[in-house]
Chain A
Amino acid sequence: MSQILTKDDVLKVAKLARIEISSQELEDYLKELSEIIEYVKQLEKVDTSNLKPTNQVTGLSNVYRNDQVLDYGYTPGDLLDSLNKIEDSYVKVKRVIE
């Protein structure tokens, strides 16, 4: 069966997601992602020309909050504690520029 995706497609998705994949994974994902898209493709059989896209299912609109500082019951320090690496209150990450 001809794949719906190419290896380049999979590599591009991996790159956008900042995920490194092995050549074996590339084969696997090519097959799996193609199958998923093939499955979802069934929807194309439905005539949607007269339908608006469904972006929301709740029917809500204008769910607002007033512009007031809220106390969420924790401190910023509590949040930092849950993060991986902290230096001088900054979040430490792999260097992103040269």
Chain B
Amino acid sequence: MKRRSFIKNTSLASGLLFVPSFIQAFENTLSSKFGYKRLVIVQLSGGNDGLNTVIPFRDDIYFKSRPSLGLNPEADLCLTDDLRFHSSLMPLKELYDNGYLTIINNVGYPNPNRSHFRAMDIWQTASGSDSYYQNGWLGRYLDAEGEHPYNAIEINDNLSLALKGKQLSGIAVKNPEMLYRLSQDPFLKRISKNFNDAHLNEHNLGYLYKTMITAESSAKYIHETNKIRSSKIAYPNTDFGNQLKLIASFINSRLKTKVYYASLDGFDTHVNQLKVHKRLLSKYAESISMFVKDLQTQGTFDDTLILTFSEFGRRVKQNSGRGTDHGSANNLFVIGKHLKKPGVYNQLASLSNLDDNGDIKYEIDFRTIYATVLNKWLDADTTKILKGSYKPLDFL
């Protein structure tokens, strides 16, 4: 046995001690007991201000550009000589110090789009700014590697484009128990049981039937597989906290789900940004740190990778409403136990060399990050899924 895999296996085995016995019993019946790698995507919607998230606190240009928004965090939030966390990210400091967090700066793509909707589509479909894709990058992953819609679960009312594939799409779930109860209606069951999929087609009614049948089978699968009804971990009682709590219970119940999708909205801070942004980052960091704890106690953190992104960063210079307008390149967080380059992956781009709009120039194409995750974590065919060849980076 190679030393590396030996260490990995023993650390997993010791993790078993913390797993409740009913899950162990259940686990034994699964073929891929461990090494079932999962990806959790966290989307910060609205355009998170990366500069006030990971702060270049020694940079004069930063303070000059942001006379009333510039922050100077305490030394205990220190990341490198030049960068410090926003004070709300204190809960992530432990992860950072343990080597479980990689911060990648200046992530973007050529000719950035500053519309929320278009930029979000670009990120979710992994397209360039000049091409329009109908399917999401994770949907295409499902097309290539998935078997069931529940292989990718979004905790939301609606399913994001990111999880929509051509043949197979993920599912959106908010309240699995309610879903299960609804799926047990005998009239609806008769309709779906008798439905002949020879008649399924692409039009709207066919889509409705198909979704109904998917919903029924997924509700049943989740109901039967999800054994953790309430976690002992004290998640913040927010929508985002509840999303992560549900994801943790799915992960810890060993659902056959490779991709989870959560989102936190409200980052479009055009006006009076400081207070709102502080609150949002707290929401994010507190929930994430509880989430990691929850996974750690059940031995599932080893096989979970968390990727946090936003559709764009914000303008370096503040506006007249003590807020910031839409920008472009931004930082991105990767959280996991097996990071090859923990810490700050690359230097923040110079604030004296901005683009024509006054935004940070991109250095790393976001698709190379997807490529890294697909190739090194999910072991998938990168070129096909990303519709192009992107060289994986070495953070994994």
Chains A and B are bound partners: no
Chain A interface (Cβ < 8 Å from any Cβ of B)? none
Chain B interface (Cβ < 8 Å from any Cβ of A)? none
